[in-house]
């Protein structure tokens, strides 16, 4: 739906960003990837080197001049650059604030000054905070439970203000527990699914924080790609300035996710089925239950998830086995 455009993807060497680079290059767009490689990985975009439709700009969104240079001649911005992870933000709130708020504001200013047509940004389900309402509906949020959640909510407020005062078309996508190819399984702040996969493939017992009865709306990367393209392409003026849940609309308990991972990985190594699960303390700042309403995205953006949990996990497990098995 989007082709022959110049698109800036911040955080383009990251898990989601690199998949967005691939997706939009495949549709004959010119991609500018901005990344400082603090969490992004060069191997995620190495296959794009030499592609005439791809340009890498190494730099930090905390530097306004870098942001302005990246936005030159750009039609659209897909802003993915951020420091993710609730635990990381609790351990280092200052850096999380600097990247996620100062950097976000720099990007908004640069996009405004470059007359960018639309600014689509990665928001977060963490914005729902202590709200116990299920499913999560966009206009009903609670109080934040972590510094990370504060920063992502402030992003939404700034986007609203820039639309109101400068006419910058902004759309926020509240990601719900995204997983899939290229998600980094290593490091202290690795997401649950890739971390569990690596442990299982190494015949190690995965550790669940809590008793496994916390639930999430796990969302495969291809659904996220679809939502980003729909947000860029929509002609529905009522969608401008809005935020949309980016999810599947399925509530899954962590114990059940682990059972599915064992099932699909056992197709490659039957011994994985017998690996026991361990349980650890709950993490500070974690939301107990998460389930998205995707009604708004369906009605306003014509969103239809292509992958439910089982379909997404099958594809993800195949990628992890083929690419990360040592």
Catalytic machinery residues: 148
For residues 11 and 59, the answer to whether their CB atoms sit within 8 Å is no
Q: Is the peptide bond before 135 cis (omega within 30 degrees of 0)?
A: yes
In three-state secondary structure terms, 126 is helix
In three-state secondary structure terms, 317 is helix
Helix (H) or strand (E) segment spanning residue 160: helix 147-166
Q: Cα separation of 241 and 145, whole Å?
A: 25
What is the CA angle 141-17-306, rounded to 5?
A: 70
Q: Cα separation of 201 and 61, whole Å?
A: 36
Sign of CA dihedral 23, 172, 256, 183: positive
Distance set, CA 11 to CA 19, 28, 105, 310 (Å): 11, 20, 15, 28
> Can you tell me which residue has the tokens 């340009």?
55
Query: For residue 79, what are its two tokens?
Result: 């802003």
**CA nearest to 178, candidates 125, 255, 236:** 125
C-alpha atoms less than 13 angstroms from C-alpha of 49 in its C-beta half-sphere: 7
For residues 255 and 151, the answer to whether their CB atoms sit within 8 Å is no
């Amino acid at each position: 739906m989007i082709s022959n455009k110049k698109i800036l993807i911040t955080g383009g060497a990251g898990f989601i960003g690199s998949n967005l680079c691939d997706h939009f290059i495949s549709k004959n767009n010119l991609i500018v990837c901005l990344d400082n490689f603090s969490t992004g990985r060069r191997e995620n975009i190495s296959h794009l080197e030499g592609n005439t439709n791809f340009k890498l700009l190494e730099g930090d969104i905390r530097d306004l001049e870098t942001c302005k240079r990246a936005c030159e001649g750009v039609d659209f911005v897909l802003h993915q650059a951020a420091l993710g992870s609730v635990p990381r933000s609790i351990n280092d709130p200052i850096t999380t604030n600097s990247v996620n708020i100062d950097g976000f504001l720099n990007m908004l200013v640069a996009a405004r000054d470059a007359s960018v047509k639309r600014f689509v940004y990665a928001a977060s389900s963490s914005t729902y905070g202590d709200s116990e309402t299920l499913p999560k509906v966009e206009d009903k949020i609670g109080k934040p439970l972590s510094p990370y959640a504060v920063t992502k909510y402030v992003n939404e407020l700034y986007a609203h203000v820039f639309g109101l005062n400068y006419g910058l078309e902004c759309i926020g996508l509240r990601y719900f527990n995204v997983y899939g190819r290229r998600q980094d399984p290593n490091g202290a702040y690795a997401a649950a699914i890739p971390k569990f996969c690596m442990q299982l493939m190494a015949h190690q017992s995965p550790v669940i924080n809590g008793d496994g009865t916390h639930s999430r709306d796990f969302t495969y990367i291809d659904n996220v790609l679809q939502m980003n393209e729909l947000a860029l392409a929509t002609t529905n003026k009522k969608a401008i300035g809005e935020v949309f849940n980016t999810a599947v609309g399925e509530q899954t308990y962590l114990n059940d996710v682990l059972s599915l991972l064992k099932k699909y990985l056992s197709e490659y190594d039957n011994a994985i089925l017998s690996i026991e699960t361990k349980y650890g303390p709950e993490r500070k700042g974690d939301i107990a239950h998460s389930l998205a309403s995707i009604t708004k995205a369906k009605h306003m953006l014509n969103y239809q998830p292509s992958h439910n949990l089982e379909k997404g996990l099958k594809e993800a497990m195949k990628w992890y086995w083929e690419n990360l098995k040592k």
